A and B are shown apart, each in its own frame.
Chain A
């Protein structure tokens, strides 16, 4: 499996993606032997399998939704919109917003400064995630992507801005809902599995309020889902890296979170494993129709997983759009450079 993997993920994903973008116009024509493109195809509404029934269609109204989110604060919005790719309105279908009555997550002007006087780790970021959508947050280290994730989870307190989760304001100037009341599950970079609990204990950790039978049923269901049946009694240190990650995922999904947050879930895995796992994880999340935000620092990961991608730089949102949009019209040289699309187009299209 090495050869196709390296081609798919380590190879030239740009070409794939571009092609995918091109082909996506004609649904169902994506060649199945190019799995790296399947997600983009799916994201653009090119249905490959039942999962794509989730209401994410082409041009999930990025521009439109950002506008919608900012109705209350026009000034801040205008500022933030200038960061967004100017041409995205063209790809936005006019009917898109109507299909999504309320986004799963809205982030409005979120700002966080760790120390007074420092440059903010997060600077007036606006974005939204639709129900069932997978958003990837990319950027270099220190760009604020993990900070954004921890703010949404409730592990940090914002200095300004609002977070609305499933229509409920969990964070604004006067509100701070602690993480245990938010329903946002976080998969940590180091998995943070409880070393004193078995696989079963870990997955069932968030199900204390369920009855015993119900809890066991749900744990079994989750372990089935991630393919770890039979390892119930193992302790985390007796598992491989990939297995640990799946336990972490199962644990996070078990309480049916309002949103699933993943903090660089692939950074601890070697390259071959990572390529396989990211598809696996993404399809798992889609299979459970969970809304998810991935933090990744590898642009390939972002392109492979995300329905949409948010590019952060120095705490600011530079671009928010679908993979194809970002590849087609990167917003400025930084984004182009980050995704390695600086070269002239004719080099790629003979």
Chain B
């Protein structure tokens, strides 16, 4: 053993002046700060003194309508999604009926259909020239007159469509709780004489409340974030208001103010969810024993009722829209699929890949900085980045365009003054701005699974590597990356899917003449060419099926 002699007195020490500071902490803090710029811009911009009259103008004109519509959509869709999600989750988790095993996973499928695609598909199906009305006219000519008069594109339809494609959030979270708790608590309730319904209301529902609240708040977040569907239906909400003030009226000040109100809205939802959660954790379910629950076998009309309850949301949330899109797509594929279409596909996949890689790298940096003992700085950085996901795209778009525009103008003026030529737009209206905005919104999507992966797979392994002389970066390379390969891939896929279907950020920040599948599908739908948009929409849905179907398996196989 020569260590005693080798490591003598005069070895130069690696000294850090500030003890809790490391390059990783600094990098994490810097990245989080940069990603928070859009939020800060909106918050500061709204608090600015100038533009009192903007406020007054907004408050007296459009505000009441935006507020009313946003509240109706949020409460209506959230409530309906709650009913659908909890009912299906309860049936699938605690009862046995024909098709239960199929429903278990199929009930998640509607999540792969973006709300705006469902919205315009139904609009196309149900309008005067659509298949439904034509069928009605052909079968019962006398009804045709009255039927035409029923307006489809209204806020009530919107509420139903949102609920149909977003209820899986509630379904997934509450089913997990029902499955976990039923083993012990529900059987106890049953033996104490509380039958199905009674056990549900008195035991299962109160216990699942935090999970249900979390699911509903995710639905509400998605609704508040939506731009494509509401603008297609002509329902004025904060998001459409932001874009109208900005694009149509050129009033960025008003846009910032509206964005700030929307942000307050979102924070209120978050706070509400948190208060529901109380001291419990959403994932704090059961975990006692692995005795499989004896499901109640339903017979006769009860079984068919259960089947109907589960089949209806699946039918309207997934099967009908996808079937209709497939039909349209077959009819128009010949015209639609050309070189331009392939460029769209390339744009979409390229953009989503770049964004996914960037988000995964940033998330890895943040999570790893936390594991290196970044303390409060890094955990605050992580929280700021996670918050980005709950900020609606419209708000982020405004928060990105303002500082980037300012940088462009400043640089342009400086170069013009010194060198005598104009640099034009360097950042705004470039892919850089768009990818940055994606990173602001979607890094959280990558961060959460990576964090969980580190907890699950690397417990002491990175510490072991450090003790064996490997510095952090090498440890990441030699230990974390090989072990977390699948987790990182899963995280990247999640971001990828989100970016593929993204509308508000892409529409407002993309370079001139740059289109993705999502923006083109949306534009075609807006231009009354719904059938032509079907092909792109199907690609988006197919990509969206990836995480819905494969992610569970990817993550569970990833162990070991």
Contacts and interface: CB of A to CB of B under 8 A. Distances in A.
A206 B468 contact: yes
Interface string B316-339: 000000000000000000000000
A209 B2 CA distance: 17
B8 interface: yes
Given A180-B469, A192-B459, A157 B20 contact: yes
B13 A168 contact: yes
Interface stretch (A13-21, A217-225, A255-263, A268-276): A255-263
B149 interface: no
Contacts of B508: none
Interface stretch (A87-95, A183-191, A293-301, A333-341): A183-191
Contacts of A173: 19
A297 to B, nearest CB: 18
B420 interface: no
B17 interface: yes
Contacts of A289: 1
Nearest to A188: B460
B464 A192 contact: yes
A170 B467 contact: no
A280 B474 CA distance: 33
Contacts of A153: 463, 467
Interface in A144-176: 153-157, 165-170, 173-176
- Which of B15, B19, B471, B472 is most buried by chain A, counting CB atoms within 10 A of its CB? B19
B16 A251 contact: no
A181 B14 CA distance: 8
Given A192-B459, A288-B1, A174 B15 contact: yes
Interface string A243-266: 000000001100111110000000
Given A131-B4, A196-B483, A206-B469, A176 B463 contact: no
Interface residues of A, number: 50
Interface in B450-497: 459-461, 463-472, 474, 478-479, 482-483
Interface string B537-560: 000000000000000000000001
A185 B468 contact: yes
B11 interface: yes
Given A166-B7, A290-B1, A192 B466 contact: no
Contacts of B4: 104, 131-132, 166, 258, 291
B466 A180 contact: yes
B373 interface: yes
B13 A169 contact: yes
A154 B471 CA distance: 12
B206 interface: no
A166 B8 contact: yes
A177 interface: yes
B20 A256 contact: no
A201 to B, nearest CB: 10
B16 A176 contact: yes
Q: Is the interface of B mostly helix, strand, loop or mixed?
A: loop
A142 interface: no
A184 B16 CA distance: 19
B482 A196 contact: yes
Given A157-B20, A194-B461, A167 B8 contact: yes
Nearest to A253: B1
B2 to A, nearest CB: 6
Contacts of B16: 175-176
B464 A178 contact: no
Contacts of A166: 3-4, 7-8
Given A183-B3, A256-B1, A188 B463 contact: yes
A188 B483 contact: no
A188 B461 CA distance: 9
B461 A255 contact: no
Contacts of B2: 256
Given A157-B373, A288-B1, A185 B467 contact: yes
A258 B459 contact: no
B340 interface: no
A146 to B, nearest CB: 12
B9 interface: yes
A192 B461 contact: yes
B460 A190 contact: yes
B34 to A, nearest CB: 26
Contact of B464 (A188, A196, A237): A188
A156 B373 CA distance: 8
A258 B479 CA distance: 23
B541 to A, nearest CB: 36
Contacts of A185: 467-468
Contacts of B373: 155-157
Contact of A170 (B1, B13, B470): B13
A136 to B, nearest CB: 19
Contacts of B13: 168-170, 175, 177
B7 A186 contact: no
A206 B470 contact: yes
Contact of A178 (B1, B9, B466): B466
B466 A195 contact: no
Contacts of A196: 482-483
A241 interface: no
Contacts of B472: 178
Nearest to A256: B3
Given A178-B14, A251-B468, A168 B9 contact: yes
Contacts of A104: 4
B447 to A, nearest CB: 23
B560 A195 contact: yes
Nearest to B483: A196
A179 interface: yes
Contact of B3 (A170, A208, A257): A257
Interface in A273-311: 288-291
Contact of A190 (B17, B20, B459): B459
A176 B459 CA distance: 23
A205 B478 contact: yes
B374 to A, nearest CB: 11
Contact of B470 (A182, A184, A208, A288): A208
Contact of A177 (B8, B14, B22, B459): B14
Contacts of A251: 464, 468
Given A156-B373, A185-B467, A251-B468, A176 B19 contact: yes
B560 A255 contact: no
A192 B466 CA distance: 12
A194 B471 contact: no
A169 B467 CA distance: 17
Contacts of B470: 180, 205-206, 208
Interface in A311-336: none
Contacts of B467: 153-155, 179-180, 182, 184-186, 252
A101 to B, nearest CB: 10
B466 A205 contact: no
A175 B15 CA distance: 5
16 contacts: A104-B4, A131-B4, A157-B19, A157-B20, A165-B7, A166-B3, A166-B8, A178-B14, A183-B469, A185-B467, A185-B468, A205-B465, A251-B468, A255-B468, A255-B469, A291-B3
Interface of A: 104, 131-132, 153-157, 165-170, 173-186, 188, 190, 192, 194-196, 205-206, 208-209, 237, 251-252, 255-259, 288-291
Given A196-B483, A206-B469, 7 more contacts: A169-B13, A176-B19, A186-B464, A205-B468, A209-B469, A251-B464, A256-B1
Interface of B: 1-4, 6-9, 11, 13-17, 19-20, 22, 373, 459-461, 463-472, 474, 478-479, 482-483, 560
Of all A-B residue pairs in the complex, the 9 with the closest CB atoms, nearest first, are: A206-B468, A192-B460, A179-B466, A289-B1, A192-B464, A166-B7, A167-B9, A186-B467, A258-B3
